[in-house]
A and B are shown apart, each in its own frame.
Chain A
């Protein structure tokens, strides 16, 4: 059914080839800066899709782990002088694994409830984390924020290592997401999303399966948070544990197509650069939040399944009307 079609691999090569070439073609700092945030949101959206899309659990505490990753990296590099720009990126790997492990007890606690209750409780986790980070000043320096040491790199090249690191992470998380889709794990997650009680009756170890998806998504969020913290150089609780980031991520997944492989990435790459660009031009005003809400409402109204499944279906229909040739399934919905 879902094999590596020439199509799928070809698409991945084109997408990643383009993204890899981008900072060398457009070398202006502001372009690479915007592109960096596009990639960051793509990582977050693809990672959130594992639990929010595949398993259907609207996990609104997700960005907690982004913030924890950011703080974990920054704290471990206090009073360190960087001799290489790359070393913090390596530390991000154990941070991701460690925070994925830490997310397991959280998952066991939270995943007892479902649906709207789960969404509300999980959002509370995010607010709680922000409050803790703001008040636990001995560790986080509170609302005054804390900084990473400056990397030894020419200012003209500043954005590129971060961009490339985020691109690597995107490749890893997308590969993971693809692997989940074509594994029995993905089948079980889809069954859980459709009808968890029925899945239990077929012997599906629902709790364990959900915890795996949850922990993986949290681990990737933590890694993205680490790269982000290193890039921006100085972090504050309100930006590390931001509800805006949370809702933006969810909106991108819904826009692109939740539960699909490419949908979250498409949604993020469409919205995030626009958002950054507007933030640039409109300055600090929060006007873009209104645009956000409007886009979200339009998506729910006109593209309830998101862009990727809708486009894919109309494409298949057109082909089926056209000539012979079966309806190859390019997107896993």
Chain B
């Protein structure tokens, strides 16, 4: 997947300015940068939530015409949100079942099909949430909700997962679980784009790191290269 020359303006101010990033299967690409540098906006464009003012998104070398969240979802591009966003009145199993990509006519089938329930239970088991399967999402702790968010991406058989600060507000045990899953999926060929403030996690996990500064990539390379780049140090220290 590739984003080429993506530009997005909010009332004259360019949140993204000719921003290009490419991700490869089985690789974890880190996207870092100070607050307000456009990371979330970039995610929103890549997942069809925001229409770009310029530039294109490509999946498998083919341009995605008129990207919408649903269309990208069907192409295997799934995301989590920076702030846990879930459906407080639905149960964990229902939320995970909702995330399964199915043909349209399945909407006239059961609320939760047996097969989807099994898969949901399996994912909940892996995340250590199995005992809470019948609870409503609103009853979970914040950390558990974020883990459930991540769980939805596991249901979708994704090819590219975009994670927006997945560890914010999550305790260390859960971060370990999360990291384990990212490593496992990576060996299965899933690509990741990871926005993360915890730099040690980024350095441990990422194959490539892209640094955004005011909507433009100012550096890219391996974690080691990037962490020694004077521009990056400057951008971070200078805010």
* Residues in chain A within 8 A of chain B (CB atoms): 1-2, 181-188, 190-191, 194-195, 197-206, 208-209, 212, 333
Alpha-carbon separation in the docked complex, A184 to B47 (Å): 24
Alpha-carbon separation in the docked complex, A195 to B98 (Å): 13
Which of B20-28, B57-65, B67-75, B204-212 is the interface stretch? B67-75
Alpha-carbon separation in the docked complex, A185 to B108 (Å): 6
Alpha-carbon separation in the docked complex, A200 to B77 (Å): 12
In the complex, chain A residues whose CB is within 8 Å of the CB of B111: 1-2, 181-184, 186-187
Choice from A183, A194, A195, A199 contacting B107 with Cβ under 8 Å: A183
A-B contact list, 10 entries, CB within 8 Å: A1-B111, A184-B106, A184-B110, A184-B112, A190-B89, A198-B81, A198-B86, A201-B49, A201-B79, A203-B73
CB distance from B92 to the nearest CB of A (A): 12
Q: Tell whether A1 pairs with B112 under 8 Å between CB atoms, given A190-B90, A198-B81, A208-B104.
A: yes
A184 and B108 within 8 A (CB): yes
Alpha-carbon separation in the docked complex, A199 to B69 (Å): 9
Asked if B152 is at the interface (CB within 8 A of a chain A CB), the reply is yes
Total contacts A-B at CB 8 Å: 90
A187 and B99 within 8 A (CB): no
B81 and A191 within 8 A (CB): no
In the complex, chain B residues whose CB is within 8 Å of the CB of A185: 107-108
Asked if B219 is at the interface (CB within 8 A of a chain A CB), the reply is no
Q: Tell whether A190 pairs with B108 under 8 Å between CB atoms, given A200-B68, A201-B79, A205-B70.
A: no
Bitwise, B220-235 to A at CB < 8 A (1) or not (0) is 0000000000000000
Choice from B47, B79, B93, B110 contacting A182 with Cβ under 8 Å: B110
In the complex, chain A residues whose CB is within 8 Å of the CB of B81: 198, 201
Interface majority SS on A: helix, strand, loop or mixed? helix
In the complex, chain B residues whose CB is within 8 Å of the CB of A198: 81, 85-87
CB distance from A149 to the nearest CB of B (A): 39
A203 and B87 within 8 A (CB): no
A201 and B47 within 8 A (CB): yes
Asked if B129 is at the interface (CB within 8 A of a chain A CB), the reply is no
Alpha-carbon separation in the docked complex, A190 to B87 (Å): 8
Alpha-carbon separation in the docked complex, A191 to B91 (Å): 11
Alpha-carbon separation in the docked complex, A40 to B79 (Å): 46
Which residue from chain B places its CB closest to the CB of A200 in the assembled complex? B69
Asked if B125 is at the interface (CB within 8 A of a chain A CB), the reply is no
Q: Tell whether A202 pairs with B152 under 8 Å between CB atoms, given A183-B110, A187-B97, A197-B49.
A: yes
- Most A CB atoms within 10 A — which of B68, B81, B111? B111
In the complex, chain A residues whose CB is within 8 Å of the CB of B87: 190-191, 194-195, 198-199
Alpha-carbon separation in the docked complex, A2 to B90 (Å): 13
Which residue from chain A places its CB closest to the CB of B153 in the assembled complex? A202
Alpha-carbon separation in the docked complex, A185 to B106 (Å): 8
Asked if B156 is at the interface (CB within 8 A of a chain A CB), the reply is yes
In the complex, chain B residues whose CB is within 8 Å of the CB of A183: 107-111
CB distance from A203 to the nearest CB of B (A): 3
B94 and A204 within 8 A (CB): no
CB distance from B117 to the nearest CB of A (A): 9
Alpha-carbon separation in the docked complex, A94 to B116 (Å): 37
- Most A CB atoms within 10 A — which of B74, B90, B91, B98? B98
In the complex, chain B residues whose CB is within 8 Å of the CB of A187: 90, 94, 97-98, 111-112
Alpha-carbon separation in the docked complex, A135 to B115 (Å): 56
In the complex, chain B residues whose CB is within 8 Å of the CB of A205: 70, 104, 107
Alpha-carbon separation in the docked complex, A147 to B152 (Å): 57
List 8 tightest A-B contacts by C-beta distance, closest first.
A203-B73, A194-B87, A200-B69, A185-B107, A198-B85, A184-B107, A202-B99, A187-B111
In the complex, chain A residues whose CB is within 8 Å of the CB of B90: 187, 190-191, 194
A209 and B107 within 8 A (CB): yes
